[in-house]
Amino acid sequence: MLKFTSQKQPKWKQGTIAIATLLAAGSVAQTAKADPVPRPPNPEVKLPPVFCFRFTDIKAVKGDDDKFQFSFEVLNWTDTPAGGVYIALNEGNGSSIKVDSVPVFADAAVDPNGRPIGTGDDGNPTGNLNTPNDWNVTDKSKTAIEWSAGSAIPNSNLLGAKSTAEACGLVPGCELQEDDQIAPPGKWQNICRVWGTCDSNPDPVVADMETVDDGLNVLDGFTVTIDDFDEGEIVSFNWFLQDENGDPIGTSGRGNEYGFGTVNLYRQPIDEDIDPGSLFAGNSGFGTSNTLFYDGVNRVTETINIGPSLMPFTASEPDTIALFSAEFGPGTTANFINPTDNKFDAPVNTVLEPGFTPTEDISTRDVPEPTGIAAIATFTAFFFRRKRR
């Protein structure tokens, strides 16, 4: 049961909202909270820990305390190059408390040079690719957004690996680790090779999860603005990779499980420690690790100001503006808030945990006032063609 210490307490019931960072069992800086891993056709193959979706920057929109711009990257671990990304709000969106009103998509765009959002210095993390995002927003509403290529995102087919070693070889930074009991550390760690007792199928281990997106199968710079996102609220949406014909690479029961999932975002009250639990059955809880958020961007300390001059700029604030935690659940699809957003006829394979109330269709709500994020993309594309990673 959630506990609140302030007098203005949202009334939550028991439940859970998971923000799983890892798609496979692996080590992260914080306690690992992982969703079920897609199963390879060969049960002998052990899959390395990876992530498919990660938030790479978050900015607060100046002058609006419940509007935020999020940038994310996607990684394509499927068997097909990705030519589209589609997200649509599901029934978990706003299912917790409603301080004001249900959160909605206010705008979307592409930041050609990736993180951080907008203009400024090249924030390319050491070792990551510097690939420009040449995609476009092809459809957007307050409940669904679609981006289309551009240059397709190459694939690394994890489920197609015929051995653990082959799967590990697809993931940057992955190494095979022998059984410590058979091969103890130190000068004797390879003695099992002399005895012939080494583990024939060692575990794939990624020592630094920041290396996972160093491969060719990644693209950063997808941006979405969310409005009416108050403290204590949840944003939840279904996520799909599409092939170059616009068809889903995977849905429940067909295609590739690394090609779709659910993403949950929780805006944590700054002055209260509240754990909402997991939102959908099978999830395991919110988190803030670097497989969910790049470099601590879940703690928002910058605003973005878009004035009449269409010259967006960011400014650091002295204090924390907002805190977020998140979860990515691979291979799951929840009921869509707007049934017409389920354009792939994707089967639903998860349900809300007890205590969460499904959100009603909000597709007829007034569209929030545009934020001008498209102006950011235009401005950035003109002056900066390098991809900031």
Residues 214 and 164 both lie in one domain:
yes
**CB 320 within 8 Å of CB 312:** no
Residues 287 and 151 both lie in one domain:
yes
Instruction: Pick the last residue of a domain from 164, 191, 207.
Output: 207
Q: Look at 312 and 356; give whichever has higher pLDDT.
A: 356
Instruction: Pick the last residue of a domain from 162, 185, 207.
Output: 207
Q: What span, in angstroms and rounded, lies between the C-alpha atoms of 306 and 295?
A: 25
Residues 271 and 188 both lie in one domain:
no
Residues 200 and 223 both lie in one domain:
no
The tens digit of pLDDT for each residue in 177-219 reads 875 544 455 555 555 555 555 556 799 999 999 999 999 999 9
Q: Is the pLDDT of residue 13 over 50?
A: no
The tens digit of pLDDT for each residue in 72-131 reads 999 999 999 999 999 999 999 988 765 568 999 999 999 988 888 876 545 555 446 678
Residues 192 and 283 both lie in one domain:
no
Instruction: Provide the number of structural domains found in the chain.
Output: 2
pTM higher than the cut 0.85: no
32 in any annotated domain? no
Residues 91 and 103 both lie in one domain:
yes
Residues 253 and 342 both lie in one domain:
yes
Residues 165 and 102 both lie in one domain:
yes
Domain housing 356: 53-172+209-383
Residues 236 and 324 both lie in one domain:
yes
In Å, how far are 21, 144, 304, 373, 380 from 310, measured between CA atoms? 36, 25, 12, 9, 11
Query: For the ranges 16-30, 170-184, 206-220, 252-266, which has the lowest average pLDDT?
Result: 16-30
**CB 352 within 8 Å of CB 91:** yes
User: Which residues sit opposite 113 in a β-bridge?
Assistant: none
Q: How many CB atoms lie within 10 A of CB 112?
A: 22
Q: Is the pLDDT of residue 151 over 70?
A: yes
Assign 321 a pLDDT band (cuts: 50, 70, 90). Answer: very high
